[in-house]
Amino acid sequence: AAMAAERALAMATCTAPVNIAVIKYWGKRDTDLILPINSSLSVTLHQDQLKTTTTAAASRDFTEDRLWLNGKEADVGHPRVQACLREGERPLPGGVPGDPVSPDAAVPAVRRLARKRRGGGEDTATLSLSYKIHIASENNFPTAAGLASSAAGYACLVSALARLYGLEEELSEVARRGSGSACRSMFGGFVQWQRGERPDGTDSLALQVAPETHWPELRVLVLVVSGEKKPVGSTAGMQTSVETSPLLKHRAEVVVPERLAQMMRHIRDRDFEGFGQLAMRDSNQFHATCLDTFPPIFYLTDVSRHIIALAHRYNAHHGHTKVAYTFDAGPNAVIFALADTVAEFVEVVRRSFPPATNGDQYGNATSYWGRVGGAGDTGTERSPRHRFVRGLPVGSAALSQELVAAVVTEPVPGAVQYILHTQPGPGPQLVDDPSQHLLGADGLPRSHA
């Protein structure tokens, strides 16, 4: 009877968001457990515009663990995937390396948590923990665009596995083992990753500071910059910074603790002036620590610097902080603004970085600029993935001559590929509709079989 209750195949699908830090994480004190040298704070972006979807399935018929990323089979043995999925190979105090049931695990993987909750035994009425697992994961945005995807990816993996095993506890600690910034994608709105004090990492967790509904006017524009891929990955880059940058040490010890407290107050008060200024300063200091790294690391490009200068001219013209930029380990700009600023600033970006119209089968620049992505856009001129402005609708704005003269200096055609308009959003979501599973009943990817 116990055997009959065992399910042959179980499947769960979740989605998870991207997040953008306004107080940056850069540097680990423990590279294996992924423990940071400073706390960080981020805004979770809305999944209507940017999300990862992951299906996790377990079946008695699967002969090996398998993983597909955007339809292509990938290495399921990757240590960071294993850190989330299984028990890990890390020698543990009092435990045996690779011992699958070692109770001394510093950071439990999803399956270990599941086993613990079931009192160490196999609960035959639910999913067997010995079944192999298939995982399929897809982004709804182009990976090549260089938008942070590992945070959403690992948050989604952990969420889908947790659903599969029926776990309800908070799992930012497990997501952190995939990618540090992933722990912040386990919540919506405004999220702090506490650095924690313990060497075992059990207090290095993400906490929601405020939900996405807290600041309804806040908007986010992702300016996707054309061209090159990032030269140094964040994992390698931050390690070199930890080893060589005295500025990073000072930042982690002195600057970030003060800034974190300030940023929490600005968010609490919905003070855009304070929030924006501090976000820009913290992005700039992060990139300064990259320059202080030896050999130095450069993530900002000429286009990034053009955008920075543009934002400062725009704010100076208005006499206060209307837009704030932040950049991660790549050249794309993320701009924060309040809703009433978006149309005007988007027009300023359009004029400063006129979209390349080369080979535009839809005719002249007027129809492109005037209608596409703007108010009255019927959606018929170009498909959404070709528009210059994507995501949430953007109204049209007429720029005054003074504004154009003061702000739009030396346009750089084609430098910005497109703008994605989004807003703060919720944390990981369960996808109820079984037709949305990325894996078929045979346990293989549906769309890319």
In three-state secondary structure terms, 189 is coil
d(CA 66, CA 139): 18
Comparison of 26 and 275: residue with beta carbon closer to ligand DP6: 26
- Side by side, the strands of the sheet bearing 206-210 are 19-23, 40-44, 190-193, 206-210
CB of 429 to ligand DP6, least distance (A): 21
Q: How many residues bind ligand DP6 (CB under 6 A)?
A: 14
Does 240 participate in binding ligand DP6 (rule CB under 6 A)?
Answer: no
Select 21 or 220, whichever has its Cβ closest to ligand DP6. 21
For ligand DP6, which is the closer residue by CB, 82 or 315? 82
Strands (E), 302-355: 323-326, 333-338
- Residue 21 binding ligand DP6, by CB under 6 A: yes
Exposed, middle or buried by CB within 10 Å (0-12, 13-18, 19+), for 361?
exposed
Among 328, 344, 347, 377, interactor with ligand DP6 by CB under 6 A? 328
Nearest to 187 by CA among 373, 18, 308: 18
* Segment contacting ligand DP6 by CB under 6 A, of 22-30, 70-78, 224-232, 398-406: 22-30
Determine, following the binding rule CB under 6 A, whether residue 234 of this chain makes contact with ligand DP6.
Answer: yes
The region of 5-13, 20-28, 114-122, 307-315 touching ligand DP6 under the rule CB under 6 A is 20-28
Q: What does the alpha-carbon distance between residue 200 and residue 143 come to, in Å, rounded to a whole number?
A: 33
Question: How does 204-227 read in b/e, with b if 16+ C-beta sit within 10 Å?
Answer: bbbbbbbebeebeebbbbbbbbee
With beta carbons less than 8 A apart as the criterion, state whether 17 and 153 touch.
no
Nearest residue relative to ligand DP6 (C-beta): 180
Q: Tell which one of 174, 218, 329, 348 touches ligand DP6 (CB under 6 A).
A: 329
| 13/19 with CB nearer ligand DP6 | 19
Residues 323 and 345: their CA atoms lie apart, in Å, by 8
The first and second tokens of residue 167, run together, are 């776990």
Q: How far is the CB of 410 from ligand DP6 (least distance, A)?
A: 29
Residue list 111-130, contact with ligand DP6 (CB under 6 A):
none
Spell out the residues 6+ positions from residue 207 whose beta carbon is closer than 8 angstroms to its own. Answer: 187, 191, 192, 193, 194
The token pair at 127 is 């999913």
Give me the 143-182 binding string for ligand DP6, x by CB under 6 A, dash otherwise.
Answer: -------x----------------------------xxx-
User: Whose Cβ is closer to ligand DP6: residue 25's or residue 165's?
Assistant: 25
Which residues form the interface with ligand DP6 (CB under 6 A)?
A: 21, 24-26, 34, 40, 150, 179-181, 234-235, 328-329
